[in-house]
A = this chain, B = another copy of it.
Amino acid sequence: MEKPAYVAVDWGTSSFRLWLIGVDGGILGEHRSAEGMTTAASLGFAGVLQAHLDSLSVPAEIPVIICGMAGARQGWVEAGYIDTPTSLGAILTGAVSVPGQSRDIRILPGLAQRSAEAPDVIRGEETQLLGALAGESQGEQIVCMPGTHSKWVRVVDGMVTGFSTFMTGELFDVISKHSILAQAIAGAGEPDGAAFKAAVGAIFKQPAMATSLLFGARSGQLLHGLSPSGAKAWISGTLIGSEITGALSSAGHDARITLVASGGLQTLYETAFQCLSISYQTIDADAAVRRGLSAAAKAIWPNDERTVA
């Protein structure tokens, strides 16, 4: 069997993902759990990590590279932020060591955009970004990482020039559960592709009408018999369409767009891009974060025979 080289961990707010990587880059083991930052903060970060390492029998000398909310102020050890504009490489070298551990454990920093007009922060997605753009650095690239808080990053000739967070996933959640639109989507079944596409098209044509178009989920039901599935897809299409329209409003014509996603979100964003005739390439979200963590491991432990594969 391939010898273990290092452990890569994506430690988000509500999820924990760990991979044991071999000297030849293979995945020797994988763990996923709901022990995100929120849970780990009460259980203890060191204990949560050690339990996962123990169950995969990871030797004591194998180092661990971590990205995500474990490096937030309210996380395990604060890993700070790298300020934009910055080279992608600066993320690799900004890792902090977790003190008091017998094992070598590093946490990667986030990114901060400190402008007065558009302050913004990223923590975790900078590592996905690193993985998504590995090897590509010419011209303008726009990277879309959808989720609870979707992140869009602009990279020009290998420099991260700026980024924006869109509250798309969280707004969908609170609107669906807590607003009058909850009635409209009660009992929703299979996704309604036609309603989704109609909403994406509508917000693209009228980008300032987001908070009005959302109400169409209710009025469409009152006046046109829109189904609960249609209402749900309409809300989703309005929010995702608003995000894409806003994010691309300042992008250049030649910008290459990369979608970092998987599963249902990948399908929704690809459908929206196709609706709007926007060219894109897709990279699997898990693969991107693993690739980013690997790049960090190789940069941090360059002379370690375990990580140079």
Binary interface encoding of chain A residues 124-160 relative to chain B, with 1 for a CB under 8 A from any of its CBs, else 0: 0000000000000000000000000100000000000
Closest CB in chain B relative to A116 CB, distance in Å: 7
CA distance A238 to B36 in the complex (A): 31
Sorted nearest first, the 8 A-B pairs with minimum C-beta distance are A207-B208, A208-B246, A119-B223, A174-B178, A209-B246, A119-B219, A165-B215, A166-B212
B223 touches A239 (CB 8 A): no
On chain B, the residues within 8 Å of A211 by CB distance are 166-168, 171, 210, 239, 242-243, 246
CA distance A246 to B215 in the complex (A): 14
Taking the complex as formed, is A191 at the interface, i.e. its CB lies under 8 A from any CB of chain B?
no
Taking the complex as formed, is A253 at the interface, i.e. its CB lies under 8 A from any CB of chain B?
no
B164 touches A212 (CB 8 A): yes
On chain B, the residues within 8 Å of A179 by CB distance are 167, 170-171, 174
17 further A-B pairs in the complex, CB-CB below 8 A; given A118-B216, A212-B247: A113-B223, A119-B219, A119-B220, A119-B223, A164-B212, A165-B215, A166-B212, A166-B215, A167-B179, A206-B246, A206-B249, A207-B207, A208-B208, A208-B245, A208-B249, A210-B246, A211-B242
Closest CB in chain B relative to A81 CB, distance in Å: 8
Closest CB in chain B relative to A192 CB, distance in Å: 16
Taking the complex as formed, is A214 at the interface, i.e. its CB lies under 8 A from any CB of chain B?
yes
B165 touches A212 (CB 8 A): yes
Interface size on A, residues (CB 8 A): 46
12 A-B pairs with C-beta separation under 8 A? A113-B219, A117-B202, A120-B216, A165-B219, A167-B211, A167-B214, A174-B179, A178-B178, A208-B245, A210-B242, A211-B242, A211-B243
Taking the complex as formed, is A7 at the interface, i.e. its CB lies under 8 A from any CB of chain B?
no
CA distance A242 to B207 in the complex (A): 10
On chain B, the residues within 8 Å of A103 by CB distance are none
**Considering residues A202, A208, A224, which has the most beta carbons from chain B within 10 angstroms of its beta carbon?**
A208
Closest CB in chain B relative to A249 CB, distance in Å: 5
- Would you list which residues of chain A between 170 and 224 have a CB under 8 Å from chain B? 170-171, 174-175, 177-180, 202, 206-212, 214-216, 219-220, 222-224
Closest CB in chain B relative to A274 CB, distance in Å: 19
CA distance A62 to B219 in the complex (A): 36
B168 touches A215 (CB 8 A): no
CA distance A174 to B179 in the complex (A): 7
On chain B, the residues within 8 Å of A113 by CB distance are 219, 223
CA distance A209 to B244 in the complex (A): 10
